[in-house]
Amino acid sequence: MIRFYCHSFARPPSRIVLDIDDTFDAVHGHQQLRLFNAFYDEFGFQPIVVFDGEGRLVGTLLRPVRRPNGAESAAHIRRLIRQIARHWPETEILLRADSHYCTPQVLDLCDRLGLRYVFGLSKNGRLAQNISALEASTAARYARTPGQKLRRFKTFSYAARSWSKPRRVIARVEVGPMVRDTRYIVTNLEGGRGKHLYEKIYSARGQAENHIKAWKAHLAADRTSCSKANANQMRLMLHGCAYWIWWKLRAACPKRSPWRRAQFDTLRLHLVKLAATIVEKKTRIIVTLPASCPRKGLLLLLFDALAPPKTA
């Protein structure tokens, strides 16, 4: 899958962003690797899924339904980066993930491999001491002028006891009529304001959750009903190929059209579920669409955009 991902680019990119996340996959049989998860109150899997910043699926790994520990996360990232580096040795890679991927093993691995990262960071008492004054002043400022949520940021150096060195941490303090919330991220990106790093870089990671939703809800990627783990891993890869087909179709739509942001099921209803006459000839297949097809112009454009290159 990683080789397919790398070959989808005409030339090696100078920089890519990889969003690493996992998702719950309920099962209702006696499949290998299944476990019971008390939070979901079901048996299932918890595969790790990786997308790039443009929504391309990079890879997916079937695993039991438990939070990956630091050693497992680091091993998965190491294999992932090693495969990408074989194709793109000069490409800079930025990793984004939520707080349960922010482990000492992963942080040290990123330092060794020269990877950039922006990870969520879990709250604790030592972190709270660094921003107690900011939280108090933000609450007081909001009390004087209530209305829209007030959001402020603070950047400081922090080292957990398990970390090998201090690292840059950005705190986001938010006060509103119904909420008082503080979040943290850790990064090795130099420069840039904390507001920009949090809102424009880290928060964009949430788009990966929409990609996972489309992959599961519209392409049935959670249909892992085989008894053997290898067979279910193969199912994930096949559903990954289906995701690529729809992603390529959507990416071929005009940039400023609403189709460029449409969900996969919307594209299927409007562009694929159409009456057509199909004639198989010796050297080609002819698809004849009805003359009154409402998406005729878009379909012709997509046929031209996705047609294979003509041989000399």
SS (H, E, C) 234-296: HHHHHHHHHHHHHHHHHHCCCCCCHHHHCCHHHHHHHHHCCCCEEEECCCCEEEECCCCCCCH
Closest CA to 156 of 144, 181, 173: 173
At residue 64, the 3 state secondary structure works out as: strand
At residue 43, the 3 state secondary structure works out as: strand
Question: Class of 1-117+191-256 per CATH?
Answer: alpha beta
Structure tokens at 71: 């050693």
The one-letter amino acid at 34:
R
Residues 218/263, Cβ–Cβ less than 8 Å: yes
* Per-residue confidence (pLDDT) for residue 221, from 0 to 100: 92
Question: Distance between CA atoms of 310 and 136, rounded to whole angstroms?
Answer: 66
Nearby residues of 45 by Cβ (< 8 Å), 6 or more positions away: 24, 25, 27, 31, 33, 34, 62, 63, 64, 65, 224, 232
pTM over 0.85: yes
Nearby residues of 146 by Cβ (< 8 Å), 6 or more positions away: 177
* Alpha-helix residue ranges (DSSP H) falling in the chain: 2-7, 70-87, 104-113, 125-144, 194-196, 207-217, 229-251, 264-267, 296-306
Residue with tokens 């950047």: 155
Question: Which residues of the chain carry a pLDDT beneath 70?
Answer: 311-312
* Per-residue confidence (pLDDT) for residue 312, from 0 to 100: 58
**Cα–chain-centroid distance for residue 79?**
18
Q: At what angle do helices 229-251 and 296-306 cross, to 10 degrees?
A: 110
Which regions of the chain carry the CATH code 3.30.420.10? 1-117+191-256
DSSP character at residue 57: E
Closest CA to 164 of 70, 94, 78, 73: 70
